[in-house]
Structure formats: C-alpha cells, structure tokens
Structure 1
Amino acid sequence: MTKHRRAEGPATAGYRTSLPWRIVTRGAEYLDRRIGWDRLPVLPGLLTLLGLRVRLRQKNLHDTGHLPAVDPPEPAPPSASHKVNRTADGSHNDLDDPRMGMAGTRFGRNIPLDGIAPARPEDVLSRPSPREVSRALLTRDGLIAAESVNSLVAAWLQFMIRDWFSHGTSPVERPWEVPLTDDDPWPERPMRIMRTPDDPTRDPQAPPGTPDTRVNVSSHWWDASQIYGSNETEQRLMRTGELGRIHLWDDGQSPFPSDPSRDPSRVPGFWLGLAMMQNLFAREHNAICDHLHDACPSWGDEELFQRARLVNAALLAKIHTVEWTPAVISHPTTVKALRANWWGVAGERVHNLFGRISGSEVISGIPGAAHDHYGVPYSLTEEFVAVYRMHPLVRDEWHLRAAADDRTLRHCTLRDISGPGALKVLETTDTADLLYSFGTLHPGLVTLHNFPRFLQEFERPDGHLQDLAATDILRSRELGVPRYNDFRRLLRLKPAASFADLTGDPEWAEQIERVYDGDIEKVDLMVGLYAEKLPAGFAFSDTAFRIFILMASRRLNSDRFFTDCYTPQVYSRAGMAWIDDNSMITVLLRHHPELRPALAGLTNAFVPWHTPQGRGS
C-alpha cells in the first residue's frame, strides 16, 4: 500500500513547490487575472486550470481536526476486510488514520481558520436580513431556464449531495429570530430558522477564539452512502441477504423501517427527482450483482454486495465527473479538464486500449494513481457546501408526459412531487415516463430571481414553515463562510469594485446596491455567485468553480478506493470492466429500454432529450 503524504500545514511537498511549478502557478494566476482562463485557447486554458489547482491545493486546504476535541467518533477495530471493502460509516479508508472522513467527523475549510467569523447575532441577522435578501433578490417571477441541460441535472445533484454531506437535524431550541419588515406576509413574527447543530466533539475547555466547527453526519467519502446508509444498521436494512442484492422501492418489501420517524420521504428535501435516482441506482446495484455472480459464481452474498457497492460508487463518481459536470459547465476547456480528471490527457481511447500508461494523474487520470492528501487530512469543507447551494436548478411547474408519444399525463407543482407525495407519483406513473419528462424539461439557471417559490414557502414534515432561500443566506453567515468579496480575495481573485462590476445586468446592480445599502463588501456569497457574469456554457458561477477545481479532484485523490485500490484485485476484472463500459445513458437504457428513441444519438444524458417533435420543452 502506498504510504500517503502528509505535512503539518497546507500542502508543500515535492513538485508542488519546485521552481517549475512555482512558475506554472504564478503564471496561471497572472493569466487568469489579466485575461481569464475561459478566454484563452483550450491548451493554454488547460495549463492555467492545472496551475490554479496546484495553487489552491497549496493555499486553500485547512484542517479542523487538530482543534481541541472530546469524544470523537471511534472507528471499529481494524480487520482484514477493511483492506478491500468500504465500511458503512466511511472509516478505515485511510488505513493509517482510520477516523479520517468517517461519519461524525468535522468539516474542513477552504479558508484560513483565523478567517472564520464567529456566529454572532449581529452578523448573522445584520441588515439586510436573510429574509429581505430572499424577497428582493431571489424570488422567482418566472422560470429562467438553463436551456443547454435537462432537469435530471437537478435530480442528480441532490442525489449526490445526499451522499456527500449533512449537518444533521437542527435542534428546536434557540432558533435564529429573523426580523421582518411591516409589509412581509410571513405568517409568524419573527421568522424562526433553526440553528445548525453544534459540534458534539468541540472541547468546552478550548481556548477563547478557537474557530467554530461542525460535523458531517454523513461519510465525507464519495461512497454512495445515500444508497447504502452511513452505519451498519442502515446498511443491513437495505440488503435482501441474497446474492448481494438490495431492496427496491417496488419489490414488495419496503427498504425502509416502518417507523415513520425514519422514513426518508419525510426528511426535508425529499422529492420525486431524488426518489427516481435512488430507485435507478438501487436497480443498477442489483444488475451489477447479477453481472458479478455470472463472472464469479462461487461468490456469496457478502462478497457480491461489497464488490457491487465499490463498482456502483465508482460509476456514480465517473458519471458526475465526465457527464454531469461537463453538461452544466460546458465550456470546451472545462469539458477537456474534467475528462482529464478521469482519463488524463491521454484520453479515454488510450485508456480503453492500453489502460494506464503512466503513474501521473495528469497523463492517465486520477483513478488508479497514487493517493495523496496534499498535506492535509481529507474532509469535505463548509465552503464546498456553500457553493453547492443551487436550489434554482429546480422547477416549480412539472409537466409529466409519456415517453412513447409525448402526450400529457398530468401537471404537477413542486409541492405535489415533494415529501411522501413523491412516492405516490412514483407508484402511479411509469418510471420511464417520469425520466422522459425530466429529460425533456429544462431546469432553472443558477441565478438571481430564480429561486423556486415553493421552497420559499416550504412546509417541513414537522409542520414548520421555512423559507429555504433565507435559510441558505443565513447558513453561510452562521457557518462563518466569508461574504462574496472576501471569499474572492481568499481565492486570490479580484473582488468586485462596484455593483456594476459584480454583474452584467444594470437593473440587478441597482437592486443589489439598494438591498445592501450601497456597501459592496456586505454582499452575501450566494448573491454574488448568482449575480456573476457566467463563462460560456456555464450554468453556475466562475467563483464557485474555483472550489470545484480543488475539491472535485481531491475527493478522488484522497480516496484509497479510487487510487491505490482502484484495481482488478479489489474490484474484480468484471467490476472494472463495468465501470469502463457504462455511462448514464447505458444505465438508463438497461433499466428502461423504452427510452431509446429519446436518447438516440446523444452522448450525454444530461442534455435535452429528443421528443417526437425533435426538440426539448
């Protein structure tokens, strides 16, 4: 096993600080500031992004795990199975540091720890209040569509987020009390937004000024925990106990406990798009089990389950890397960069013919390269959470249509297909028709004045009314994520000098200036991200993309099962072939072959599908 590289602070080892790399990183930052990576030809643009990624690894990975702690989560004792199996809670991914990235460990940061602002009421609730920002700048009057993609991008993103992170269930005590203006129609005064749960491992004797921290109740690893659970109990409930398979929505035995409090359809955020993705990849797991059983008939239930889980998780990571992300940021340079993350600059064809031709991640991609934490123990970060607040992707109105002939089946609102109602729609409408409807409907663009109205008046399963737009603004303030200009400075980007500099829309510039009383430094991160001028082909902001440059590759680089253990000896030859040979399109057609006409000729399942009229809706 390759020993991982660690250091006391931000990454400083080897090539990352050699003279050639110092030249590359400084040159990349110069070109990016003077011209912009997106305005360069593809090859210089790729080199610029490479240099930016190295610089971000050097300067924007900060560990919170070394801060004083009590009673951190304890991984199970080491066992031989940990060398070849993912654990339910994410422990033992790094065999030298088995707690790293497991459920219940802290979020890291992409900003220096001394730059984390404390969650003082005067800052969290300061003018403009989160509710004022929601009403004035985020409310959707009509859908602003992202016409280059389809609504599966929204379903997929939430499906991924359910794997990556959760701060847990908010306590009901001491809610934030958001002041309201006299003309605000909100039914309760003041508006109450529950707090993010405290870090249960925080040492009460920590010195004053110790940065605030929170824990991720999910595993930090890209391990498909949204399908398989984040602990042994959840995982056992999902499994049938036969041939490695897991329960499906409609197999006659619910994969969830009868206790309503543990029913995921009653967890805030559950909706039809998420249910569809869960269903599709539960079926994919079982298909992988059947494939592995045919290749290795002597394997029992446990071996089939563990190999199929590895393969399914890797396929999800591949789809996100080379299909979902290039669809939503479809600039020619980023498309090539993302494909290089998986296959290297040598490309997919060379990989398929010869496999890895180099140990370098640049030449042959990250999967199968040596793992590297870049001097900082792996975790997801609060800034990563903040830039993934992309609720505008979700439509308010849903026109469900038949895959066979495009006839209208029913009209739904987001309210109709959320919560337990999502399962009712899934039970009464053919899944192929639902997938077709999502594939031919545009999502929203991640921009101002495009937040789903239903989510601004969202009734939680516990009856509590919530404005998720206001909550998103408040969360970044509460968790010490910097405001927009400071965020850009910490990423070595030029801050907005004025409201006109922030956005290319003069009317929006006036609105933002009015809401923030003329102070550009007060603009919240999410508002700035939504207001930015977008690079060509982008459905979200360039500033957010900087965190993706860093964290999208880090989730692969740090994970032993995508690097050192991404081998036929661990996955099996049949499992490795499954990952290589499949895509989102093949997954869809395997389980729903009736979608073939809608997908004919497409190379990416997240772009608008064909309709009988030959165009998306």
Structure 2
Amino acid sequence: MSSFNFSAYLKIKGDNLLPESNQGNCRTSNTNEWCFEAGDDRVNVFPGLAVLHTVFVREHNRLVKELADVMPSTTPDDVLFEEARKIVSAIIQQVTYREWLPIIVGPLAMRKYRLTPGFSFRYNITQNPTIYNVFATAAFRYGHSTIPRFLTLGDRHVPIEQLFNRPSEVIKDLDTVLKAILKDRHQEVNRFINSGMTEHLFETSGNNGFDIVSLNIQRGRDHGLPSYNNFRKACQLSEVTSFDDSVFGKAGPALKSVYSFPDDIDIFTGAVAEQHLHGGAVGPLLACLIGQQFHDLKYGDSFWFETSHPRKGFTSGQLSEIRRMRFAKILCRNSGVKSIQRDPFTVYSKESNPMIPCNDLPTIDLTKWRR
C-alpha cells in the first residue's frame, strides 16, 4: 500500500460519521450527540439527508484507501483526493441520470431531453448550466409532497417533526435510518402534504412550526415567478382554461375553491396538482421543468463524467467500471446492510424489485486506475 497521511481523506468523527459542526445548527439531547458538518448546511434538517452525506463521505474515503493500493507509493495525497473525488462525482451523476431521473420524469422526457447516460454526450460550450429561478424556487420543491408522515425506525413509528434538525437517530444507528428509508413508502406527488410539513416544520420549544406550502407559494411570489399557465405555455403545453381540465384530475374543485381563475394559479400549486405522466412520478409541467434543467446541467458541464476530454474524463476501461455501479452497491458497502432491493429508489417487491444479497452486486474494479 502507498504511504499517505490523512489529507487525502474527508474528515469523519467516531463510528465513521460526519464531523462536528461549529455552528450548532441542530438540536441535541446530550453530550454524546453533535451537529453534523457537510458541504450543505441542510445536512441536519432530516436524517435521510445526513445518511446520504455520510454514505458518500465513506465512499470517498474507501476509494482513497483502495486507490493507494493501485497507484505508485510516490502518489501525492492531493492526487489521491482528487481522483477519489472525481470517481464519486461520476458515480453520483451515473446514479442520478440512470436510476433516479427516469422514475421521476418518465421515459418520454428522458428521450426528449437526452438525459440517459451513454446518449452520445458532447459538451456544448454555449449551454448555460446554471439553475433556473423556477427550478430552485418551485419545481424542485415537488419533493415536499412525497415526504411520509412517519419514519419507521425499527419498531417505532416516529412523526417526522420529531426528526427535524435532530442528528441523534443517525448517530445512534445509521443502519436503522437507512433501512427505514429503503422500506417506507413515500407519498405520491400531489396537492396533499402531511401535517408534519404544514404545521411543524422547524418547530422549536415555545415556537410554532412553519407551513412548507405557504413558504413555497410565497417564495415563488417573492421571486416574481410568472403563473402556472405562463410556464405551461413556455413548455409548449396547452394553457388550462378551466378548473375542470383533465390535467388536474380530481384536484380541480380544490383549486377552484382558492383561485378565482386558472391564470391565478401559482406555479408550485398547479404543478404538484397535475396528473402524472405515464411511467413518471410527476405531471407534464414538472417533467418539462425538471427535464430541461437536468439537460442543461449535463450538456453545459465540461466535467460531465462521459466527456472525451483526456484529463477531465476517464479511460474507456475506467468509464466501463463506473457505468457498472449502482446506488444499491454504494449503500451496501458504506453501511451495515447485508441485502437490499435491486432499485433502492423503489419499495421492495418480490416480483419487480426483489431483495438481493449485497455481495451479488457488481463493484468497481480499481485496477483500471493502476499507474
């Protein structure tokens, strides 16, 4: 093994968990708990976020250690760090576009916006990859409607408001939290959002919680977002002229009770109320807004993992190894779970999404990085 010091690793704390933040931006119950520090300060907002951050920090550190075995002993620490970082970034892109996006936007949007990895990628220097205001402010908030009322931690059904800004469950047992996220069925994308999110968000002792829906709607107005119909027109979808429009299904009467005219509908409200596209988890407007954003992020990224650039990209052998990786394997080898459903983004099904032993999942062969 190469000789290197800890500068190639990402920082961790006891039990291979995230390091302690000096901001105190969470709620702890005793001296054995701490607030997590990560690249995104929302890491403490919900245990699921903390688990994902932790899993990929562990993956980075695992790769550093294994890369040291296949690279010369003179390899500097910063090279090990950057190569591990590059591989993790590529895996995240691979998982996001191959495993997660198809479930959300559906097959038609995947083809329309050329989102599937391996679709003859070519970097477009004129493509602006920045985030659209409507995406950050409204469209990508759709996930708030999918959060379940409870998280099943072992034999406990814990209301989500008891988990906000509390890292204690992850510190106590990350595997239990991960198993709960894999097992519990999320809510569908629709106008119904559970009371934990509408009455108790960021609730503290002596203070009432926030309403995420009110925040989302007001945020859109504060940012000056045009109406729901304006964005349908921008996406070349037909404008809604009646609350009885089939795009809303049974949600029409509810929208009519709070809006005078279809043109008054806020973008967040209308988007989550739409009927889902076939094979997707969202309606046509969200599929358009999300699909276009992820198209721009891909083709406007000169570091996209499938680039043919000799220094920014990978060799053909390395790229083949990255394409073999699946999210299930990342979760397995960075936790204590021994078996997992083939698709972690979907609940277990004996027929369509069976449990498989972690050891049966393909892993990345780092000998392709031998120098």
1:477 aligned to which of 207, 218, 221: 221
Letter in 2 for 1:313: S
Q: What is the percent sequence identity of the aligned residues?
A: 19
Report whether the alignment pairs 1:525 with 2:278.
Answer: no
Instruction: Answer whether contact 2:10 2:60 (CA < 8 A) is retained.
Output: yes
**1:505 and 2:234 correspond:** no
Q: Does 1:588 align with 2:331?
A: yes
Conservation of the 8 A alpha-carbon contact between 1:370 and 1:563: no
Equivalent residues of 2:43, 2:49 under 8 A apart = no
Deviation of 1:337 after TM superposition, in Å, equals 6.3
> Counterpart of 1:172?
none
Structure index of larger Rg: 1
Report the 3-state secondary structure (helix = DSSP H, G, I; strand = E; otherwise coil) of the residue aligned with 1:341. coil
**1:334/1:545 Cα in 2 relative to 1: closer, same or farther (>3 Å)?**
closer
Determine the C-alpha separation between the residues in 2 that align with 1:259 and 1:268.
Answer: 12
Selected match of 1:324 from 95, 100, 111 = 100
1:342 has 2:93 as partner: no
CA distance 1:501–1:249, shift in 2 (3 Å): farther
How far did residue 496 of structure 1 move?
0.5
- Whichever residue aligns with residue 271 of structure 1, its letter is F
Q: Cα gap change, 1:287/1:461 in structure 2, threshold over 3 Å: closer, same or farther?
A: farther
Q: Equivalents in 1 of 2:288, 2:212: separation in Å?
A: 25
Question: 1:606: how far off?
Answer: 0.9
After TM superposition, give the deviation of residue 452 of structure 1 in Å.
4.5
- How many residues were matched structurally? 334
CA offsets 1:307-348 (integer angstroms, 9 cap, x no match): 21122112111111110112234x44456668863112xxxx
The whole-number CA distance in structure 1 between the counterparts of 2:311 and 2:83 is: 11
Aligned partner of 2:345 in structure 1 is: 606
Match of 2:164 in 1: 418
SS at structure 2 position matched to 1:485: helix
Residues 464/304 of structure 1: CA separation in 2 closer, same or farther (3 Å cut): farther
Give the match for residue 227 of structure 1: none
2:88 matched to 1:312? yes
Q: CA deviation at 1:557?
A: 1.1
Contact map agreement 2:13 2:20 (CA 8 A) in 1: no
Structure-1 separation of matches of 2:53 and 2:270: 33
1:389 correspondence with 2:141: yes
Give the 3 Å change call, closer, same or farther, for CA 503–269 of structure 1 in structure 2. farther
Q: 2: CA distance between counterparts of 1:339 and 1:605? A: 23
Change in Cα spacing, 1:255 to 1:443, as seen in structure 2 (3 Å) is: same
The offset of 1:411, in angstroms, is 2.1
> How far apart, in 1, do the equivalents of 2:212 and 2:9 lie?
37
- For residues 13-412 of structure 1, what are the structure 2 equivalents within 5 Å? 242=6, 244-251=8-15, 255-260=19-24, 263=35, 270-297=45-72, 298-329=74-105, 331-334=106-109, 341-344=116-119, 364=120, 366=121, 369-374=122-127, 377-385=128-136, 386-390=138-142, 391-401=144-154, 408=155, 410-412=156-158
How far residue 523 of structure 1 moved from its aligned partner, in angstroms, is 0.9
- What CA deviation, in whole Å up to 9, does each residue of 1:233-286 have, x standing for no partner? xxxxxxx96261112353578624434259557859711010010111111111
Q: 1:299 to 1:452 in 2, by over 3 A?
A: farther
1:561 aligns with 2:303: yes
1:429-487 CA distances to partner (integer Å, 9 max, x unpaired)? 2x333222211111111101234434433235795742221010001111111111122
| Contact preservation (8 Å) 1:483, 1:521 | yes
Structure 1 counterpart of 2:52, which letter?
M
Distance 2:134 2:282 in 1: 15
TM-aligned CA distance change 1:248 to 1:447, over 3 Å:
same
Contact 1:244/1:289 (8 A) holds in 2: yes
1:541 counterpart = 2:305: no
Give how far 1:580 is off: 2.4
Deviations 1:94-150 (A, max 9, x none): xxxxxxxxxxxxxxxxxxxxxxxxxxxxxxxxxxxxxxxxxxxxxxxxxxxxxxxxx
Q: Distance in 1 between matches of 2:172 and 2:327?
A: 24
Q: Distance in 2 between matches of 1:501 and 1:253?
A: 50
Query: Matched residues in 2 for 1:444 and 1:532: separation?
Result: 15
| Aligned mates of 1:453, 1:338 — CA distance in 2 | 35
Unaligned runs of 5+ in 2: 27-34, 356-371
Which residue number in structure 1 is paired with residue 294 of structure 2?
552
1:370, distance to aligned residue in structure 2 (A) = 3.2
- Would you say the 8 A contact 2:276–2:282 is kept in 1? yes
* Residues 359-413 of structure 1: per-residue CA shift (max 9 Å, x gap): xxxxx2x2xx233333xx4411101112001201111111123xxxxxx3x2211
The one-letter code of the counterpart of 1:247 is: K
Structure 1 residues not aligned, in runs of 5+: 1-239, 345-363, 402-407
Residues 429-444 of structure 1: pairs in structure 2 closer than 5 A: 429=173, 431-444=174-187
Paired with 2:287 and 2:111, the residues of 1 have a C-alpha distance of 15
Distance 2:111 2:345 in 1: 17
Give the one of 191, 196, 201 matched to 1:448: 191
* Offset from partner CA, 1:505-548 (integer Å, 9 cap, x none): 34x3222112113x111111111112212112222221011122
Secondary structure of the structure 2 residue equivalent to 1:412: strand
1:398 alignment partner, SS class: strand
* Deviation of the 1:301 alpha carbon: 1.5
Which TM-score applies when normalising by structure 1? 0.49
User: Does the aligned pair in 1 maintain the 2:10–2:57 contact within 8 Å?
Assistant: yes
What's the TM-score, normalizing by structure 2?
Answer: 0.79
- Distance in 1 (alpha carbons) for counterparts of 2:195 and 2:94: 29
Shift of 1:290: 2.1
Distance in 1 (alpha carbons) for counterparts of 2:13 and 2:185: 27
Deviations 1:540-559 (A, max 9, x none): 22101112232212111111
SS in 2 for 1:594: coil
Shift of 1:571: 5.2
Inter-CA distance 433–466: structure 2 relative to 1 (3 Å threshold): closer
| Paired AA for residue 605 in structure 1 | P
- Structure 2 Cα separation of the partners of residues 495 and 504 of structure 1: 12
User: By how many angstroms is 1:592 displaced?
Assistant: 3.5
